Structure 1
Amino acid sequence: METRPRLEIRNLIRRFDGRAVVDDVSLSVMPGQVTCLLGPSGCGKSTTLRMIAGVEMQDEGSIWVDGKLICDTHFRIPPERRSIGLMFQDFALFPHLSVADNVAFGLSGSRDEKRARVEEMLKRVDLHRFLDAWPHNLSGGEQQRVALARALAPRPRIMLMDEPFSGLDNRLRDDIRDETLAVLKEEDAAVLLVTHEPEEAMRMADEIALMRNGKVVQRGSPYHIYNAPADRQAVAFFSDINVIRGKVQGALTDTPFGQFLAPGVADGQEVEIVIRPQHLKIDFDRNGQGPLPTPQDGTPARGVVERARFMGNESLVEFRMDHDGSILKATVPNVFLPRPGKPLWLTIRRDRCFVFPARRG
């Protein structure tokens, strides 16, 4: 089993006008692994990709492929010799070349060898019937598959993908993502995918590197990133959040939903208890004198409905809480649209709450 990373970047830094847009980024990608650089626009994702591709030079750090240095601040292998495939949002197909000639672009070998590889790749993406078609006669999804075939035709060891699916409509996107992922896995390439969409990262990645302000703030499997977030911003990047503030005393903080542990936080310091709307539960059996809550659900607290909206497969209900007038949001499966002004009791899933020191400012 392969134990050496196919791609490794060490302490990459890129500055513009004295500001580090990529700030000491390190990561590795194994053969056959899909790693996603996930983060908001402007966080340094695409700049990192351009440095790996060789179209942007780093100010510090190094890039390695299969254990061999390909670029640092003194030594640089040119982009065309790095065995790296590229896919971008706009597909970048040549409009004056047929589908077959687009896929053949960049291939070496005899004419027959190139033709055989083109046919193999177009069959793999189910577009063999469009060998002689022009790109403008294809749909967006078909153009994306041609771009994938072209990128994989030279058998790159590494595939870099920069928001490759964002130009597709929502209905088509999921199918194209799944088809692309299957082909990439077959080729055993190391894949580095850039996206700002958490759903795309969760769907495609074996590992997510969450970026913010030029830094990787957390790395791990999609499950780990979602269920053990590093901070409040990491929780909020994947979903809406509710935030309950409290002050610590004896490693505990009091809230309307009972006490929460805050280990390692000094007495007197404020903490933020973060919970996703799907884990704020409405207690339909309680009207103030109902059954006692379970330890997992903590103490019920009352809120008054501000508004309710049906979102397609769930309903979003906003409550103004009695204890401090704050607004908390809950999602409920299917249709649940209580009238504004209706009081309801709420509980929270303690095992689904995250406790962080309060942000200053």
Structure 2
Amino acid sequence: MTAAPRLEIDQITRHFDGRDVVAGVSLSVTPGQVTCLLGPSGCGKSTTLRIVAGVDRQTTGRILVDGVVVSDDGRHAPPEHRGIGLMFQDFALFPHLSVAHNVAFGLDGGLRRHEARVRELLERVDLGGFFDAFPHQLSGGEQQRVALVRALAPRPAIMLMDEPFSGLDNRLRDEIRDRTLALLKEENTAVLLVTHEPDEAMRMADEIALMRAGRIVQQGAPYHVYNTPVDRAAAGFFSDINVLRGTSRGALTDTPFGQFLTPGLSDGAPVEIVIRPQHLRIDFDRQGRGPNPTASDGVAARGVVQRARFMGRESLVEFRMDHDGSSLKATVPAVFLPKPGTPLWLTLRRDRCFVFPA
């Protein structure tokens, strides 16, 4: 059976300064589920989070916690009465309090009454030896873990996280994200996480809600959102993309790689065909020879190398296509640095392409 939603956001809008910062946003989060609000800066993610927390109020719509309305047109429960934990990127630890007193700060009765809970949480994030330490004695990653267990100490039904890892360096960020996710899952907490980083959302989320201009434009499992983007902008938000432009004629569009089916588009309609660089392959077996139209790996076109760069784990090669002079990029594992001016054949599979009306 599907668990009942712990958090429900029902058609909320937030009108501010003559515009809708949030426009008709709805989603639900069940116990143990991590949902990421993903999108560029200014799209309404953090405003949505503040409305759920109770520090801001929606213009219309409802917020429900465990099926109980905590905010609508007629009522607005304050943040401390919602059973919601908050975690932000600045950690906000009290510098004059020890680690233990920071963790116990939100607990009724404080450290004296809840020392066992505080010690348990610190042990679970490998900070048992820092019970009496002060925040300035901890690294950034250790401070982040203290902030996490402080938010979890009262056993909130819901955890709201606003860009909580943005202040950490890349290596530390991966480790802390994994620790955080494991602890949240153990506590069976419903998590709503705000981020502008697709990699973070893909790594942590059970469900991604992609936001743009105050609205959720696509929602689903990370695999679904990545592999079936709703439009070109959605595809481009998760990775670099190549765009083949053409015009639909008789439900077909000509490209450097031959014709693509474009059903449902009228004659003369502009078309954009999107392919990610990792799905555009260099055909090393076809160098110096013409393409094989029956090749099992897809359709082919020739381009001339403009530039090649090694990116650490892969090489990025930029081409100018013979067919129409368009520019395309391909990624190749490891080191591959052909000289500018080198002609090479590229192949793609049509089932790895996304076709959108322009």
Question: Normalization by structure 1: what TM-score?
Answer: 0.96
* Structure 2 counterpart of 1:171, one-letter code: R
* Structure 2 counterpart of 1:288, one-letter code: R
| Alpha-carbon shift at residue 295 of structure 1 (Å) | 5.4
| Alpha-carbon shift at residue 8 of structure 1 (Å) | 0.4
Structure 2 CA distance for aligned equivalents of residues 290 and 253 of structure 1:
20
* Structure 1 counterpart of 2:183, one-letter code: V
Structure 1 CA distance for aligned equivalents of residues 11 and 262 of structure 2:
33
* Structure 1 counterpart of 2:351, one-letter code: D
SS of the aligned residue for 1:32 comes to coil
SS of the aligned residue for 2:285 comes to coil
CA contact 1:207–1:220 (8 Å) conserved in 2: yes
| Alpha-carbon shift at residue 156 of structure 1 (Å) | 0.2
* Structure 1 counterpart of 2:21, one-letter code: V
Aligned equivalent of 1:272: 272
Structure 1 CA distance for aligned equivalents of residues 294 and 173 of structure 2:
43
CA contact 2:35–2:191 (8 Å) conserved in 1: yes
* Structure 2 counterpart of 1:322, one-letter code: D
Q: Does 1:151 align with 2:155?
A: no
Structure 2 CA distance for aligned equivalents of residues 205 and 326 of structure 1:
36
Structure 1 CA distance for aligned equivalents of residues 313 and 41 of structure 2:
29
Structure 1 CA distance for aligned equivalents of residues 110 and 50 of structure 2:
31
Aligned equivalent of 1:54: 54
| Alpha-carbon shift at residue 250 of structure 1 (Å) | 2.4
Q: How many residues align?
A: 357
Aligned equivalent of 2:320: 320
CA contact 1:2–1:31 (8 Å) conserved in 2: no
Structure 2 CA distance for aligned equivalents of residues 154 and 61 of structure 1:
28
CA contact 1:5–1:67 (8 Å) conserved in 2: yes
Structure 1 CA distance for aligned equivalents of residues 76 and 309 of structure 2:
56
* Structure 1 counterpart of 2:46, one-letter code: S
Aligned equivalent of 1:133: 133
Aligned equivalent of 1:98: 98
- Taking a change above 3 Å as real, the CA distance of residues 87 and 335 of structure 1, as seen in their structure-2 partners, is same
Structure 2 CA distance for aligned equivalents of residues 110 and 26 of structure 1:
37
* Structure 2 counterpart of 1:294, one-letter code: A
Matched ranges for 1:282-297 at <5 A: 282-286=282-286, 287-289=288-290, 291-294=292-295, 297=298
Aligned equivalent of 2:86: 86
Mean CA deviation greater in 283-292 or 238-247: 283-292
Structure 1 CA distance for aligned equivalents of residues 110 and 165 of structure 2:
33
* Structure 1 counterpart of 2:124, one-letter code: R
* Structure 1 counterpart of 2:98, one-letter code: S
CA contact 2:291–2:301 (8 Å) conserved in 1: no
- Taking a change above 3 Å as real, the CA distance of residues 2 and 110 of structure 1, as seen in their structure-2 partners, is farther
* Structure 2 counterpart of 1:39, one-letter code: G
Structure 1 CA distance for aligned equivalents of residues 93 and 111 of structure 2:
21
Aligned equivalent of 1:333: 333
Q: Does 1:171 align with 2:171?
A: yes
Q: Does 1:222 align with 2:193?
A: no
Structure 1 CA distance for aligned equivalents of residues 175 and 201 of structure 2:
15
Aligned equivalent of 2:204: 204
Structure 1 CA distance for aligned equivalents of residues 290 and 249 of structure 2:
30
**Mind listing any 5+ residue stretches in structure 1 that lack a counterpart?**
none
Q: Deviations over 1:225-263 (max 9, x none)?
A: 000000000110010000001111222212120111112
What is the percentage of aligned positions where both structures have the same residue? 73
CA contact 1:90–1:167 (8 Å) conserved in 2: yes
- Taking a change above 3 Å as real, the CA distance of residues 285 and 295 of structure 1, as seen in their structure-2 partners, is closer
Structure 2 CA distance for aligned equivalents of residues 262 and 201 of structure 1:
32
* Structure 1 counterpart of 2:123, one-letter code: K
| Alpha-carbon shift at residue 43 of structure 1 (Å) | 0.5
SS of the aligned residue for 1:26 comes to strand
CA contact 1:318–1:327 (8 Å) conserved in 2: yes
* Structure 2 counterpart of 1:187, one-letter code: E
CA contact 1:12–1:59 (8 Å) conserved in 2: yes
Mean CA deviation greater in 265-274 or 51-60: 265-274
Q: Does 1:192 align with 2:195?
A: no
CA contact 1:118–1:153 (8 Å) conserved in 2: yes
CA contact 2:165–2:173 (8 Å) conserved in 1: yes
| Alpha-carbon shift at residue 116 of structure 1 (Å) | 1.4
Q: Deviations over 1:122-172 (max 9, x none)?
A: 111111110100001100000000000000000000000000000011110
Aligned equivalent of 2:303: 303
Q: Deviations over 1:91-131 (max 9, x none)?
A: 01011110000000010147553111111111111111101
Mean CA deviation greater in 13-22 or 104-113: 104-113
Question: Normalization by structure 2: what TM-score?
Answer: 0.97
Structure 2 CA distance for aligned equivalents of residues 74 and 222 of structure 1:
36
Structure 1 CA distance for aligned equivalents of residues 34 and 25 of structure 2:
17
Q: Does 1:347 align with 2:347?
A: yes
CA contact 1:209–1:220 (8 Å) conserved in 2: yes
SS of the aligned residue for 1:285 comes to helix
| Alpha-carbon shift at residue 267 of structure 1 (Å) | 2.1
Aligned equivalent of 2:41: 41
SS of the aligned residue for 1:92 comes to coil
CA contact 1:281–1:349 (8 Å) conserved in 2: no
CA RMSD of aligned residues (A): 1.2
Mean CA deviation greater in 214-223 or 72-81: 72-81
Aligned equivalent of 1:183: 183
* Structure 2 counterpart of 1:87, one-letter code: M
- Taking a change above 3 Å as real, the CA distance of residues 321 and 66 of structure 1, as seen in their structure-2 partners, is same
CA contact 1:9–1:64 (8 Å) conserved in 2: yes
